Amino acid sequence: MVFRRKSKAPVTDNTEAVPGIDNKAVASLLVADIVMGAGSFLLRRFVDKRVLKADYDDKTARELRSRRTRGQAVASAAATKLATRSVPGAALVGGGLLLGSMYKRGRARKAARLQQQAQLPDATED
């Protein structure tokens, strides 16, 4: 039995017939991504300003915003991403915020109690 090689079909250049993303679509997606990022950044700055202005005067709010480090901004963005991606992430971030506020509140109560004890007259001095 003799096996013959099948002849291969000639290779043609069909790059125009292949569907895909052209350069115009890639550029449009890139521009949309940049616009979304800039819009998100501006919205976050606006909300930060309004939240601080609700509790502090303009000078104090400006000072608090200027003291924020890059590390704090990155941590805030990472926590936001984690919280918005999944329910367990939201529970983790929300629980962390709750624990942090409870810890600070407990520290403030303890400091107030110690200050009150320091102001009371000492009963052993008589």
What's the pLDDT tens digit per position in 66-98? 888 889 888 988 898 899 999 999 999 999 999
Residue ranges of the domains in the chain?
24-68
The pLDDT of residue 48 is above 90: no
Q: What is the phi/psi pair of residue 18, to 5°?
A: -80, 125
Q: What is the pLDDT, as a whole number, of residue 100?
A: 93
Report how far residue 115's alpha carbon sits from residue 109's, in angstroms, rounded to the nearest whole number: 10
